[in-house]
A and B are shown apart, each in its own frame.
Chain A
Amino acid sequence: MARIRLENISKNFGPHTAVEDLDLDIADGEFFVLLGPTGAGKTTTLRMIAGLDKPTVGRIFINEANVNDWGPAERDVALVLQQYSLYPRLTVRDNLAFPLRSRVRNLAPAEIDQRIDYAARTLRITHLLDRKTDRLSGGEMQRVSIGRAIVREPQVFLMDEPLSALDAKLREALRTELKDLQRRLGATFIFVTHDQVEAMTMGDRIAILNRGQIVQVGAPQDVYSNPRDTFVASFVGAPAINLLKGEVQGGRAVVTPKSFELPVAGQAPGAGSYIFGIRPEDVRVESGAPVEGRVHDIENHGIEKIITVRVNEHFVRASIPARVDVALEEVIRFGWNAEKLIYFDPRTGINTRHQIA
């Protein structure tokens, strides 16, 4: 299979910089996710790996070979797109056969049939083979389009938000299927998404992009518990992390303008201004806790409740077990798990732990 390396890649469209100074090293057989908001440069990066766009600066390697001057056909990568991914006017079978009939591959008909058969069984679409593509549901279309990638037995699978156009239930099902498929094929997957849930559940590693630059690369758990800056912290994780402005004074975190204060743990940096980051699951709601607030909002998520607590003009989200009864405007007390507190530099937004490292 394949290792992909991007060295110092930049891409400009006229005056607009889509990707800037990007370095990535994706291991063979890795499920690698490019995560970021719209316009972050994820798709551009993927298209450059596919060979559909050429980088303005920088080099791309597939298995140690510099592929900058290779066309898409020569790179042996398969691409799955969000929509318009199937050839219209063709049946499912012809769609699957289309890449195999290319002169680049020049396969015997028996071999083509065999590969289609294998892909169809893998994706459970055998019963659809003779249908026209306009008579497929969204989920079926996406399966076929993944099938069209599988039949090629490519070095790399590139997927550009393949699940985004599907409804929630289907998305969840295909998420599991895709991850399972990747394990069975042992292939390198590069998966573009703006959905942090997809990234967290499927990725072996995640690269988070913002405004054409990589902000952080790491395993999902790393990115979640040790975000490089406030952007990553708030982009990854649902419900979103609490970000509170304040100061560390004499071993306590004081949220300003003066509102409430809570203890910090031993790893806290020195006195000064910070943005405190604390995940909702690390906010504890209990009767003896140090801070008093009122319940501002309640979201029931089934397995848990996310409540927003109002303290003067500050809002703090906390997750509590679903069976705990709370009412709007009820007075409650909360504290936090000081060990999990993250300190961001208020000017740059960068995690102080990363600054030191």
Chain B
Amino acid sequence: MAVVSSRGQRLSNRVAIAAILVITLVFLAPIYWIGSTAFKPRSLATTSPPTIVYQPEISPMVKLFTKRVQLKPNEKVDYDNAPWWERMIFDGGERISRTGKGAIQLSGYPDRFINSLIVAVTSTLLAVGMGTITAYGFSRFRVKGEADWLFFILSTRMLPPIVVAIPMFLMYRAAGLNDSHVGLILLYTAFNVSFAVWLMKGFIDEIPKEYEEAALVDGYTRLQAFWKIVLPEAATGIAATAVFCFITAWNEYAFALILTNKKAQTAPPFIPSQIGSGLPDWTVIAAGTVLFLLPVAIFTFLLRNHLLRGMSFGAIRK
């Protein structure tokens, strides 16, 4: 905290804190809404006014991961021998569908979630890796037409991506990339790599080239100097770039909707597709959304120290 001296300053400080509290509450309200809905019984999900106080339950999570069918009138279930979480499903007038051998059938959500992880993590690694190496090249070597190349790289982000959705769909179909992990990874990497190049170039420009030159004179190769000197120094920038790329890939909806439908479908197009049939169960959708929010939150939290320094774009160094 800054040292506050005069009364006027103290007052304006309090006003600022109050304003920040209000803004934070406003920003967090939707998160609370979705978070609370994810633990409500179905009957309380859509009450008006919204139910604030209730007995939280885990049934939406159970429903999220399982395939269920409506109980027929007078259908007998083995309520007494069922585990506690299956009883909650019975209480809701449904039962979990099982295979002939009695194994529980999972819903589509876990697979979609894993798809999201595979696609987002891989494309982030690729985009940040390629972006860092390219940025290093632009930063340290004389590249013929450097400004033009950098502008070209940036220009790939000037077109709204959705404009090319239909050509992309046709090209992907022709190339057999529809509904494949590789297809989405390629696409998201292409989205992010230009962004990664520009961001990383800023960070690498900030690292004095004298460090590497000292290492070169000290008997290291350019590649060794890059690994031992540049990468540790650029860690902050890499973390910030990775978070941005991950968020973009993780949240992407439009292309995932168009280019995937089953095998490689990610979570964003899957969650709303559950609204479609019959009366939507908002608690299940909320549960899916809450779980979907977690990886980005965790990733950002883990890298928070790097991010804080990275956001200032090296302005406080030297």
Contact = CB atoms under 8 A, between A and B. Distances in A.
B211 A72 contact: no
A81 B210 contact: yes
B219 A87 contact: no
A104 B220 CA distance: 8
B211 A71 contact: no
B233 interface: yes
Contact of A73 (B210, B216, B229): B216
Contacts of B220: 73, 102, 104
A98 B213 contact: no
B155 to A, nearest CB: 26
Interface residues of B, number: 16
B215 A98 contact: yes
Contacts, number: 54
Given A87-B229, A88-B233, A89-B232, A73 B217 contact: yes
Nearest to B218: A99
B221 interface: yes
Contacts of A51: 216-217
Interface residues of A, number: 24
Contacts of A73: 216-221
A52 B217 contact: yes
A255 to B, nearest CB: 49
B56 interface: no
Interface string A200-212: 0000000000000
A105 B219 contact: yes
A72 B216 contact: yes
Contacts of A71: 216
A85 interface: yes
Nearest to B221: A73
Contacts of B280: none
22 contacts: A52-B216, A72-B213, A73-B217, A73-B219, A77-B217, A78-B218, A83-B210, A84-B208, A84-B211, A87-B211, A87-B214, A87-B215, A88-B211, A98-B215, A98-B218, A99-B219, A102-B218, A102-B219, A102-B224, A104-B219, A148-B214, A152-B218
Given A79-B213, A89-B233, A103-B219, 18 more contacts: A50-B217, A51-B216, A51-B217, A72-B216, A73-B216, A73-B217, A73-B220, A77-B217, A81-B214, A83-B210, A85-B214, A87-B215, A88-B211, A88-B233, A99-B219, A105-B219, A148-B214, A152-B218
Please list the 5 inter-chain residue pairs (A to B) with the smallest Cβ-Cβ separation, ordered nearest first: A102-B219, A99-B218, A104-B219, A84-B208, A84-B210
